[in-house]
Each structure stands twice: as C-alpha cells, then as structure tokens.
C-alpha cells in the first residue's frame, strides 16, 4: 500500500482546475485519478471542478487502485511522483511528507 501526502487547500483545488481551464485544453475523454487517503472532500471538489471540462476523474484511496484504473504501472508512477517532489523541494514548495 502506498501513501501520498499532500498539503493542498480548497483554494488550491480551484486554482489547479483554473490552470486546466485557462488555455481551454481538450479534456473530453481524458481520464484522471486522484489519490486521497485524507481530505476526501477536497479531492471530490477538484473532481467536480475539473470534470466540468469534459474529463473523467475518479478519487481513489490507494495508488495501486488508481494505477489499475488508468492502466499504468504503479512503480513508474511512484518514480514520477518522487521526481516531481524532488523538483518541488528544489524550489522550496514541496508538501510535507
């Protein structure tokens, strides 16, 4: 079982959805997964915000289940997440683990 911790706020969820909204990307038929072991309402808020643009977003509690739904390998996703966190740490903006 993998745990990913985040320090996202409700305002962050709206701001991230706005990033997708800004250039009007074509999100129709795009599948996205959110892994949330805590703060499910925040994850659901983002799910509702982003799905208005045509994507299908599902909230999971386990990384492995999200990866199965997306048909991606969990170890590959874990490497990507680690790389993103390292990049955020380098810029002083990483969420606490």
pLDDT of residue 94: 52
Residue 8 has pLDDT above 80, yes or no: no
Q: Per residue in 43-94, pLDDT tens?
A: 888 888 888 878 898 999 999 999 999 999 999 999 998 888 888 778 766 5
The pLDDT of residue 92: 67
In the prediction, which pLDDT does 63 show? 92
Q: Is the pLDDT of residue 1 over 50?
A: no
Cβ neighbour number for residue 64 with a 10 Å cutoff: 13
Locate the domains of the chain by residue range. Answer: 10-90
pTM: 0.65
């Amino acid at each position: 079982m993998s745990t990913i911790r985040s320090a996202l706020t409700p305002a962050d969820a709206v701001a991230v959805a706005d990033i997708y909204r800004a250039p009007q990307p074509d999100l129709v038929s795009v599948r996205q997964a959110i892994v949330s072991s805590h703060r499910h309402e925040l994850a659901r808020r983002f799910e509702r915000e982003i799905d208005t643009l045509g994507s299908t977003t599902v909230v999971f509690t386990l990384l492995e289940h999200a990866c199965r739904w997306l048909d991606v390998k969990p170890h590959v996703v874990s490497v990507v997440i680690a790389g993103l966190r390292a990049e955020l740490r380098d810029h002083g903006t990483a969420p606490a683990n």
